[in-house]
C-alpha cells in the first residue's frame, strides 16, 4: 500500500472542496492549510458538520466539512447577494449540504470518467458541538486527515477518512483525476452549467 | 410566460432557480422531493416545463418522472435534469423517459434561462 496514494486522495479531496467553494460558493479566495493527519493531536471545533459518503469497489471516503453557522450564512449570502444577517439558519445549513453534494458529485464524476463507479449518499448536516477526532489508525489501507480552508475572514475545516482497498486502481487514473480537478480549478466559471440538449 | 415546476430537495438551489425564472416572468411551483414533485406535476396536469434534480430523498428524479409519464403520458411537457450526476447510463435512462436536457450543478442562471427560452420556443413551434 502506497502512503502517497492515500495522501494524493486526501489532497485531491480537500482541493475539490476549494473548487466547490469557488464554483458553487462564488468565492475563489480560499487557501488550504497544511495537512494534519490523524497522528496530530490538535483538535478542531465547530458547531455543525456537512457529511457525505462515497464508496466503490476500490474503497470508501467519508468527507466532512465542519463549519460555524455564521460562516455558512456569509458563504450562502454571497450566492444570493444578501448580507449574512438575512440568511436563515436552515438556508445556511442547506447551502453547506448542497456544497458537499456538489463536491461529492464532482469527485464521483471524475472517477466515473475513468470507469470507476462510485456510489454517493445524500448529504446531511449534523448539528451540535463537534470535534474532529479520529480513532487510532491501525489499518494501513486507511487514513484520516484534517485541513482548514480560509478566505482570510472565515474558515471551514475539512476532515476526511479514506479506506483504500485497491491503490493501484487509483494510481492508474491519478494523473487524469489531477488534470480534471486542476482544469476545474483553473477555468473561469464560463463552463458552469453547460446545457446538454438531447 | 411559462408555468414551471422545479423539483429539488435543496432550498438553496430552489431559491436560485426561482429567483432566475421569476426574473424572466415565469411562474414557479416548488417541490421539495420526488414524491412532492409527482403530486404537484400531476395536480397541475400540464406544466410548460419541469426542472428536476436526480438525487433526492424518497423517489429520485428519474423514477418520479417515469411515474408521471405513466400517469399523464409521454412528451406532454419538456424536462430538464439539473444534477451533480454525470453518468452516461443515467443520461440514457433520462432520455428514455423523455428528458430533453441535462445540466450539471452548479448552474449558471443566464445559461439556464437561455436554455429554458429555447426549449419553450421549440415546444411552442411543435
Give the ipTM of the model, two decimals please: 0.85
| Model pLDDT, residue A166 | 94
| Model pLDDT, residue B124 | 84
Cell of A156: 471551514
Whether residue A100 is predicted with pLDDT greater than 80 in this model: the reply is yes
pTM of the model: 0.90
Q: Pick A192 or A6 by higher pLDDT.
A: A6
A108 contacts chain B (CB < 8 A) = yes
Beta bridge partners of A53: A62
Which single residue is written with the C-alpha cell 474532529? A132
Q: What are the residues whose beta carbons fall under 8 Å from the beta carbon of A190, sequence distance 6 or more?
A: none
A21, A74, B82 from B123: Cα distances, Å: 36, 40, 19
| Model pLDDT, residue B73 | 84
Q: Write out pLDDT tens, residues A17-52.
A: 999 999 899 899 999 987 776 555 556 667 899 999
Residue B95: closest C-alpha in chain A:
A198
Residue B96: closest C-alpha in chain A:
A198
Rounded to whole angstroms, the Cα distance separating A175 from B123 reads 44
Average model confidence (pLDDT) across chain B: 92
CB contact under 8 A, A94 and B86: no
Whether residue B97 is predicted with pLDDT greater than 60 in this model: the reply is yes
Report the half-sphere exposure of B36 (CA within 13 A, side-chain side).
14
Alpha-helical runs (H) found in B1-126? 11-23, 34-44, 61-72, 88-96, 109-125
Strands A59-67 and A155-164 turn out to be antiparallel
Amino acid at each position: 500500500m502506497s502512503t502517497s496514494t492515500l495522501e494524493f486522495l486526501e489532497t485531491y479531496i480537500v482541493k475539490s472542496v476549494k473548487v466547490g467553494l469557488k464554483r458553487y460558493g462564488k468565492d475563489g479566495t480560499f487557501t488550504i492549510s497544511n495537512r494534519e493527519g490523524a497522528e496530530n493531536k490538535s483538535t478542531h471545533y465547530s458547531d455543525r458538520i456537512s457529511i457525505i459518503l462515497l464508496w466503490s469497489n476500490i474503497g470508501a471516503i467519508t468527507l466532512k466539512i465542519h463549519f460555524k453557522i455564521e460562516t455558512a450564512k456569509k458563504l450562502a449570502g454571497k450566492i444570493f447577494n444578501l448580507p449574512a444577517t438575512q440568511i436563515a439558519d436552515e438556508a445556511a445549513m442547506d447551502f453547506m449540504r448542497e456544497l458537499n453534494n456538489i463536491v461529492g458529485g464532482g469527485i464521483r464524476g471524475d472517477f466515473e470518467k475513468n470507469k470507476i463507479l462510485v456510489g454517493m449518499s445524500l448529504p446531511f448536516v449534523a448539528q451540535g458541538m463537534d470535534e474532529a477526532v479520529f480513532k487510532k489508525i491501525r489499518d494501513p489501507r486507511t487514513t484520516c486527515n484534517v485541513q482548514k480552508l480560509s478566505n482570510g475572514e472565515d474558515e471551514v475545516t475539512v476532515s476526511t477518512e479514506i479506506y483504500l482497498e485497491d491503490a493501484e486502481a487509483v494510481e492508474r487514473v491519478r494523473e487524469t483525476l489531477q488534470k480534471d480537478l486542476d482544469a476545474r480549478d483553473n477555468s473561469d466559471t464560463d463552463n458552469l452549467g453547460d446545457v446538454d440538449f438531447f | 410566460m411559462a408555468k414551471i415546476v422545479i423539483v429539488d430537495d435543496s432550498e438553496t438551489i430552489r431559491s436560485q432557480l426561482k429567483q432566475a425564472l421569476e426574473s424572466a416572468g415565469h411562474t414557479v411551483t416548488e417541490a421539495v422531493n420526488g414524491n412532492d414533485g409527482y403530486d404537484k406535476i400531476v395536480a397541475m396536469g400540464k406544466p410548460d416545463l419541469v426542472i428536476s434534480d436526480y438525487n433526492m430523498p424518497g423517489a429520485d428524479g428519474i423514477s418520479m418522472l417515469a411515474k408521471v409519464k405513466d400517469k399523464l403520458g409521454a412528451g406532454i411537457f419538456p424536462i430538464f435534469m439539473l444534477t451533480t450526476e454525470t453518468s452516461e447510463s443515467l443520461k440514457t435512462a433520462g432520455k428514455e423517459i423523455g428528458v430533453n436536457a441535462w445540466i450539471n450543478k452548479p448552474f449558471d442562471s443566464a445559461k439556464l434561462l437561455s436554455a429554458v427560452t429555447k426549449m419553450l420556443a421549440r415546444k411552442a413551434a411543435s
